[in-house]
Structure 1
């Protein structure tokens, strides 16, 4: 029987259900959803598979232990009692980060130091090291997280956050995180056979993520992960995961995807990012003002993250953009529109009440995802 681990996929607020669906789609059914995290039991092979395939998760972590602690002695002893040697070798590099919310042990730096000492003591004892551990090997970043005195100790398997796909070589002033961009696509009914347009494409993130989804390309296929260096995950397990990703990719799937932006510099950046992602010929890029958009086909989708008017003096300009956008996107009732914005008057300016509205966060900014469902025509 294959060895199992408890995994935790972290997510931005509002995206937990999306990440949970992705985890289930990979075949892991024992899924528990909480604020900002999704936990599940899975075989070791889930570590490479989840890192490769989860489009909307921030990180994948191994849960080493969970317990209650209200004193530093409890934190030390219960941390030391865990089987750290199962994961971390004698030369493993194990920095400790931490956070504490509504807990008796509120000093994060002290909690980090105690966990570091407890893990070191356990590893020295198990590996027969008398003095200091060398920490010259692979990275095993530990996190101690306290919430209402409940301690969760994890090891990060991802390394760099999963939103770092490796294709974004250029960006604008306020780039959309790749994980959020992927979620915006997955929260629609778009399928690869339908036209897709982003009228404020910026550096192209939404459409690049859509193309990866459309051709079923694993978002982590062209990057590395810290757990690739770990001894307890066989190299063959990683090779199998990458081979599976290659076999499942549908590179021949045709796509009708177009990105437009008023700024010609952003169009060039978007093109460069698409080339870096290996999608050079799959997305059409055009410099154009959004109000000049006139659908030439039926049953299309617009997914856009237009300006929010966060700076003083921009509000009137942005409000006019929203009015013009409403007029353009209502030309063909078969088109569906999905707009992300923090402007609470968006529906009034757009000229129509959304079919559905979903609360999300763009970084720390609270935003709404306005969804207008079109009435599909039979071609």
Structure 2
């Protein structure tokens, strides 16, 4: 696909500032921060770079058209009139995802059905063969967003969600999405050189994402495939060169120390396997330890970046209050000069820390509303 296009990189709620900063660092053109993501303009090569490098994006959508969709016939005719041959073949597969708000067409499933019909009918009338729907592994993902009767028709360049990096071997008990972990590290303002510690490391997601940031390693390099690689006309040789260019920018930090610990030995073993799968053996130290006994190492001025358990995910809040109280006490009394970034899903537990945050960032972890508490420990 030649020429310039409009793209929209989506993200989870609250992460827009970090995603915008990432897109700016990539020098993507005509950036505009919006609710739910960042708009930019560029070529397909820019979309390749966005998929390879954006750590906090969930998907990179390519906008095809915008039009009024006051009723199902208007929607059907505009979708059917579009030439889909550049994105999927008559024997390929596709799926449609729709969202609607404040519009006459107010049932997302029905919108998906009508768009599916329009794409299938176009192919059938022209070729006698129609692509089929595959909800699990389609060649093409079509997105329709309707707001106040105005439809935006897009295709997903990413394929699977970008949080599925490809390095994870174990989810852990209460998994943190890789994209959210990267955002937490970015929000913490970690400089990539000071020690970073996660005393509730679980399966190691924050540790791995921090190490990849420090190494300037493109997270998309772990992926087996992106959505655009299945489109007709994709240029594999050119994309291979783009990946080689990304690999050439990797660096191995010198004396960087990233340390994770967890009270559960099973979680530590999971973290070891995840770290190994990410190619980070020897760069991340893991140990079995109770966060209630957390103590700073002599001479360190570190960042504590962590996602402790909270009641909705792994147990009752009351059981966790003493854990937070003891951990907060250890930080307050022994970690002067440290920086703390802690994801909290329960205000009772946040208060139990006894640490007044300098800043609170509203985020969403899965379906749970959370706050990232940021503090400089005096």
Out of 331, 336, 341, the residue aligned to residue 338 of structure 1 is 341
1:367 aligns with 370
Deviation at 1:62, TM superposition (A): 1.1
2:279 aligns with 278
Q: 1:314–1:138: structure 2 CA closer, same or farther, 3 Å change rule? A: closer
Q: 1:315–1:43: structure 2 CA closer, same or farther, 3 Å change rule? A: same
Deviation at 1:94, TM superposition (A): 2.6
Deviation at 1:371, TM superposition (A): 0.4
Deviation at 1:86, TM superposition (A): 4.1
2:321 aligns with 319
Deviation at 1:368, TM superposition (A): 0.7
State how far apart, in whole Å, the 2-side matches of 1:241 and 1:11 are. 23
CA contact under 8 A between 1:203 and 1:267: conserved in structure 2?
yes
Q: Deviations over 1:33-63 (max 9, x none)?
A: 2221322111110222111111111111111
1:290 aligns with 291
Deviation at 1:177, TM superposition (A): 0.7
2:29 is paired with a residue whose SS is coil
Q: Deviations over 1:232-273 (max 9, x none)?
A: 332233112201111011135442000010001100110011
The farther-off stretch of 308-317 and 180-189 is 308-317
The farther-off stretch of 8-17 and 346-355 is 346-355
Matches within 5 A, 1:225-244: 225-244=226-245
Q: Deviations over 1:194-232 (max 9, x none)?
A: 011000000000001000101011111121212113233
Q: 1:200–1:120: structure 2 CA closer, same or farther, 3 Å change rule? A: same
Q: 1:26–1:2: structure 2 CA closer, same or farther, 3 Å change rule? A: farther
State how far apart, in whole Å, the 2-side matches of 1:235 and 1:313 are. 48
2:12 aligns with 12
Out of 323, 327, 330, the residue aligned to residue 328 of structure 1 is 330
State how far apart, in whole Å, the 1-side matches of 2:206 and 2:313 are. 23
- Structure 2 unmatched runs, 5+: none
CA contact under 8 A between 2:123 and 2:131: conserved in structure 1?
no
2:263 aligns with 262
Q: How many residues align?
A: 372
Q: 1:138–1:107: structure 2 CA closer, same or farther, 3 Å change rule? A: closer
Q: 1:112–1:312: structure 2 CA closer, same or farther, 3 Å change rule? A: closer
Q: 1:372–1:220: structure 2 CA closer, same or farther, 3 Å change rule? A: same
CA contact under 8 A between 2:327 and 2:353: conserved in structure 1?
yes
Q: 1:218–1:253: structure 2 CA closer, same or farther, 3 Å change rule? A: farther
State how far apart, in whole Å, the 2-side matches of 1:33 and 1:92 are. 34
CA contact under 8 A between 2:94 and 2:131: conserved in structure 1?
no
Q: 1:315–1:111: structure 2 CA closer, same or farther, 3 Å change rule? A: closer
Out of 290, 300, 303, the residue aligned to residue 302 of structure 2 is 300
Matches within 5 A, 1:6-85: 6-85=6-85
Q: 1:122–1:14: structure 2 CA closer, same or farther, 3 Å change rule? A: same
State how far apart, in whole Å, the 1-side matches of 2:208 and 2:72 are. 47
- Structure 1 unmatched runs, 5+: none
Q: Deviations over 1:164-198 (max 9, x none)?
A: 11122112221111110010001122123201100
Q: 1:359–1:101: structure 2 CA closer, same or farther, 3 Å change rule? A: same
Q: What stretches of structure 1 move > 4 A for 4+ residues in a row?
A: 121-125, 134-138
CA contact under 8 A between 2:310 and 2:349: conserved in structure 1?
no
1:359 is paired with a residue whose SS is strand
State how far apart, in whole Å, the 1-side matches of 2:234 and 2:316 are. 52
1:153 is paired with a residue whose SS is strand
State how far apart, in whole Å, the 2-side matches of 1:147 and 1:186 are. 31
Q: 1:106–1:374: structure 2 CA closer, same or farther, 3 Å change rule? A: same
1:207 aligns with 207
The farther-off stretch of 100-109 and 199-208 is 100-109
1:355 aligns with 358
Matches within 5 A, 1:164-183: 164-183=164-183
State how far apart, in whole Å, the 2-side matches of 1:24 and 1:82 are. 32
State how far apart, in whole Å, the 2-side matches of 1:194 and 1:134 are. 52
